[in-house]
């Protein structure tokens, strides 16, 4: 609803607009670069500049919301004038029960994208809503310095988001997601175990936090990309929308629970929670996320369009397919069509001959 609908709409539109099915994840990664790279950096910049200007605090938060409102209006205008249905969506006129039987056959990948997005948003939003307070607790300085530190962290994380876009053209999305959760788990385990010592060494604490933020960007990209790629075109927005909605449940829980820990003075417990959540997301990725490439997606899409949803899901979990499989499948279909046409012709000729004899 509202801005929340932008997640599935933007990600699926970006994935389906790719000229090559292997580049869908890269397109979503570039989208995430702006949404979770430059966006949070702009947020920190606006907050810091307003605080630096000497504006009263009861005005600052109103001005921050005003900037958000203007950006939302700009997004609304752009979305209205630029959105078009992707060609893969418009060419499917008869999905043959795909909508009706979607959850029945796609429950495993849908459970995977929804659960993993929920777990990731516990981490992302829980930390994002409290990182200024976490830095303030570690440095003991004024809150303005903590906002500046958050701004610097956000700016320094942008190269890792750009790297993620490149990495997805070389490594499969599942492996990138696993790598991100492993790195995030190890970095936060370091912060949890050594928080008492690290909080007194500002440079070292900030460096480890930046490492975890960089690894966090990898599953940030893949949670959007995978849910935007693996479902049939006719229900792709539905699958991504359910996944994004699950993520917002995690975001709500993470924001509330992490704030409660922070206000109680249990900052190290935040990092323990992130470590456990990342481990759970890693396990879910191994068990529920398919390993695929562009050919796998194309073959699964064709099966889904023919109403063979069970076979489409099996294809999705069959691993990366060679491009020759795509060609062979097309040749088999052409041969089948040709055989059907030949049989029909022979039957017609036989019927005509029998009628003439009679």
Is residue 76 situated within a structural domain? no
Is residue 349 situated within a structural domain? no
Q: How many CB atoms lie within 10 A of CB 358?
A: 5
Backbone region of residue 85 per phi and psi (left: phi > 0; alpha: psi in -120 to 50; beta: other values): beta
Is residue 353 situated within a structural domain? no
Residue among 201, 82, 243 nearest 251 (CA): 243
> Who wins on pLDDT, 84 or 270?
270
**Which pLDDT tens digit goes with each residue over 31-88?**
777 777 788 888 889 988 888 888 888 898 999 999 999 998 988 888 788 776 655 5
Torsion of CA 127, 30, 118, 179, to 10 degrees: -80
> What value, to the nearest 5°, has the Cα angle with vertex 320 and ends 335 and 178?
160
Is residue 351 situated within a structural domain? no
Domain count, the chain: 1
Is residue 85 situated within a structural domain? no
Is residue 258 situated within a structural domain? yes
Work out the average pLDDT over 213-234.
Answer: 89
Is residue 176 situated within a structural domain? yes
The overall average pLDDT reported for the chain is: 81
**Which pLDDT tens digit goes with each residue over 118-170?**
999 999 988 888 776 776 655 555 677 778 888 887 888 888 888 888 888 88
In whole angstroms, how large is the CA radius of gyration of the chain? 25
> What is the SS3 string spanning 228-290?
HHCCCHHHHHHHHHHHHHHHHHHHHHHHHHHHHHHHCCCHHHHHHHHHHHHHHHHHHHHHHCC
Is residue 62 situated within a structural domain? no
CATH number of the domain enclosing 269: 1.20.1250.20
pLDDT at 93 over 60: no
Q: Which residue has the tokens 């370091």?
A: 190
Q: CA 275 → CA 4, 216, 301, distances in Å?
A: 27, 12, 36
pTM for this model (two decimals)? 0.77
The domain in which residue 189 lies consists of 1-54+99-317
> Who wins on pLDDT, 188 or 326?
188
């Amino acid at each position: 609803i509202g801005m929340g609908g932008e997640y599935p709409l933007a990600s699926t539109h970006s994935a389906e607009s790719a000229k090559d099915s292997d580049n869908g994840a890269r397109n979503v990664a570039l989208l995430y670069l702006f949404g979770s790279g430059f966006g949070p950096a702009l947020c920190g910049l606006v907050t810091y500049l307003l605080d630096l200007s000497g504006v009263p605090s009861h005005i600052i938060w109103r001005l921050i919301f005003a900037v958000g409102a203007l950006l939302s209006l700009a997004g609304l205008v752009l979305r209205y004038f630029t959105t078009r249905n992707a060609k893969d969506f418009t060419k499917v006129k008869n999905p043959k029960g795909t909508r009706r039987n979607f959850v029945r056959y796609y429950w495993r990948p849908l459970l995977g994208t929804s659960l993993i997005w929920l777990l990731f948003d516990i981490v992302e939003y829980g930390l994002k809503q409290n990182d200024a307070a976490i830095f303030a607790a570690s440095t003991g300085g004024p809150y303005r310095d903590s906002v500046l530190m958050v701004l610097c962290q956000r700016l320094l994380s942008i190269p890792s988001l750009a790297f993620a876009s490149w990495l997805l053209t070389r490594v499969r999305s599942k492996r990138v997601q696993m790598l991100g959760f492993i790195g995030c788990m190890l970095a936060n385990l370091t912060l949890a175990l050594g928080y008492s010592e690290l909080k007194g060494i500002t440079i070292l604490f900030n460096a480890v936090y930046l490492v975890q933020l960089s690894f966090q960007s990898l599953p940030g990209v893949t949670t959007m990309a995978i849910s935007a790629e693996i479902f049939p075109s006719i229900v792709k927005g539905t699958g991504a929308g359910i996944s994004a909605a699950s993520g917002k449940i995690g975001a709500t829980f993470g924001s509330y629970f992490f704030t409660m820990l922070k206000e109680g003075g249990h900052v190290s417990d935040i990092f323990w929670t992130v470590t456990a959540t990342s481990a759970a997301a890693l396990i879910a990725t191994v068990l529920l996320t398919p390993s695929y490439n562009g050919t796998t997606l194309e073959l699964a899409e064709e099966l889904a369009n023919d109403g063979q949803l069970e076979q489409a899901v099996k294809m999705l979990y069959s691993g990366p397919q060679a491009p020759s499989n795509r060609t062979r499948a097309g040749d088999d279909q052409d041969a089948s069509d040709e055989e059907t046409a030949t049989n029909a012709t022979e039957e017609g000729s036989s019927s005509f001959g029998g009628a003439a004899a009679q």
